[in-house]
Amino acid sequence: MSRHQNGEEYRNPTEVKKSQIVMPCHANHRQELSVGELLKWMDSTACLSAERHAGCPCVTASVDDIHFEHTIGVGQVINIKAKVNRAFNTSMEVGIVVSCEDLFSDSHWRVCQAVATFVSQRTTGGKVQLRPLVPCTQAEQVEHSLAAERRRMRLVHSDIMKDLLTNKAFQQVEVQEAEKAVPAERTRVESVELVLPTHANHQVNTFGGQIMAWMENVATIAASRLCNAHPTLQSIDMFHFRGPSHVGDRLVLKAIVNNAFKNSMEVGVCAEAYQGEEPLRHINSAFMTFEVRDREGKPCMLPRIRPEPLEGRRRYQEAIARNKIRLDRKYIISCKQTEVPLSVPWDLSNQVYLSYNNVSALKMLAARNNWLLNSEKNKVSLYTLEEKQVLSFKVETEVDIPAERAFMLLSDLSKRVEWDPNYERCELILRVDDDDFLYRVVTPSIGQDGASNSPSANQGGKVQDFILLASRRPPCDSGDPYVIALRSVTLPTHPPTEGYNRGEVLCAGFSILEVSKNISKISYFNQASPEVLPYISTDIAGLSSSFYGIFCACNTFLQENRGDHASTPQSQPPSSTLKSTQL
């Protein structure tokens, strides 16, 4: 915990805490805390945090995916902590952490964490321009930086679904008719709630947490009808509030099981509102994943679902796509950086999550505050960082070139061969979109003394090659750096080949910060893998300063191309390559 100069513990000014003992009135039939109650407490705590920063009323715009790690029993204490991670123009991201405390054993454990987006609103109507939030600790700097990447993910979420559903593999999914399949109609639930003043927030709108609780209730009933048991809610896909609801509204809540997998089922649920004779207004929708567990806590096999014709079949297919997205997210994003396998196969369906992980990993590495200056030569500095037996290095200097121009030049890896002797060849495999590219990089072999050898001599073993995902990001706000992140992926079209040693990059890339109109601070990071370490080991040991020569060459390259028109890789791979890298 960091401290102020006066010795007091630092506390984020937007932080709000809530502690609540779980009473029988908060519990379900199993004497466990109702998830609906928990959602209400989480939403109200996060809203108070948002309003503390905004200084005015705020409403819930969305809540990102939530995965529940544990259930909570009667008599245990729920502790909720919420704080604003970042404020954008009129919206802000609030991080929520929920933990449980057993008063008798003095044990604590995490229940879930979530990220909610709130929008500020004047009492007279209209949105409020928010003041920026200045991070003070390393943890806050990381969350502040990652908030921009999470925001990007939210904006492209619907596009991910569209792209996946147009994939031929999903278009060809057929409903398997099982003898004992349960008709989806049997799981359909519809319930109407009258919004009373007790359901309203301090702005006389229906409390977002209350709507989420009602949605969880009907979804649980739908899931119960499929399995004839009491299901456990495992996760919720994003809640997205599409419009407000008010006191006096009738809220129509609908739920149905979209699909059942081996040990889990997806329930689709929506909330619509109306008053009098007016048409229904879509308020919210979400997808909830349930499991049924036996007495030993192991997941039970679930019956198959027989979808309704037309719309039911569409929902059935969409559930398969969402399940894949859910697994990709859990596999790539939810893991700690050190647990993400390097051999993650790239394809179009997991591209967004690999890109997110790529950029986030570099931002987290850059935010570390315990870098040690290893050596310095003519204002080119080499820093090292050793954590958990992983060595990272950073090379940093200032160059006389606008940050945007440096970003455009350095983000094209095919140009790196012009200044970096460790890049012997670099071919563009695929331009995924304007921000992400796939490359194959060939590097010289390394001799026993750490020096690069010619490929023909091959004294240090086989020449190495790397398959890299390069993800670039312009600043989200002024003061943010330009980012170019690199990590290894695998491609079915580019397996390891004879004569080359396939290397892997854990986390590498550039951070380019605008110092002034024509001056940029360029930082290069690399979390050194065994394949990369030999290229820098002699520098770190103080036996050479090749890093200085490479950065000088980089500076010369930037100056020589300072006035050229910005360019990005344009070539596209053959259609056969694209086809084989997709699902």
Q: Which of 378, 348, 363, 394 is nearest to 476 (CA)?
A: 363
> What type of residue is 444?
P
Pairing state between β 58-63 and 107-120: antiparallel
Other Cβ atoms less than 10 A from the Cβ of 222: the count is: 26
Residue 339 has phi, psi (to 5 degrees) of -100, -10
**How high is the pLDDT of residue 337?**
47
Rounded distance, CA 460 to CA 352, Å? 37
Rounded distance, CA 466 to CA 507, Å? 13
Helix (H, G, I), strand (E, B) or coil at 288: strand
Contact 208, 199 (CB under 8 A): no
What residues are paired with 427 via a beta bridge?
Answer: 440
| Half-sphere exposure (Cβ direction) of 397: Cα atoms closer than 13 Å | 22
Sequence-ordered list of residues with C-beta below 8 angstroms from that of 554, at least 6 positions apart, any chain: 410, 419, 420, 522
Rounded distance, CA 98 to CA 442, Å? 46
Q: Tell me the two tokens of residue 517.
A: 């109109």
Q: Tell me the two tokens of residue 265.
A: 């089922």
Tens digits of residue pLDDT in 498-520: 888 888 888 999 999 999 999 99
Helix (H) or strand (E) holding 127: none
**How high is the pLDDT of residue 299?**
87
**How high is the pLDDT of residue 573?**
45
Q: Report the residue count for the chain.
A: 583
> What type of residue is 171?
Q
Contact 16, 45 (CB under 8 A): yes
Sign of CA dihedral 118, 123, 125, 129: negative
Rounded distance, CA 243 to CA 281, Å? 8
Phi-psi region of 559 (alpha: psi -120 to 50; beta: other; left: phi over 0): alpha
Rounded distance, CA 73 to CA 333, Å? 29
Tens digits of residue pLDDT in 186-238: 999 999 999 999 998 877 889 999 999 999 999 999 999 999 888 999 999 88
Sign of CA dihedral 22, 24, 27, 31: positive
What are the structural domains, with CATH classification, of the chain? 1-137 (3.10.129.10), 167-334 (3.10.129.10), 351-581 (3.30.530.20)
Q: What is the pTM of this model?
A: 0.79
Contact 508, 362 (CB under 8 A): yes
Q: Tell me the two tokens of residue 574.
A: 């053959």
Instruction: Give every residue of the chain whose pLDDT is below 50, as ranges.
Output: 1, 337-338, 447-460, 566, 571-583
Sequence-ordered list of residues with C-beta below 8 angstroms from that of 263, at least 6 positions apart, any chain: 291, 299, 300, 301, 302
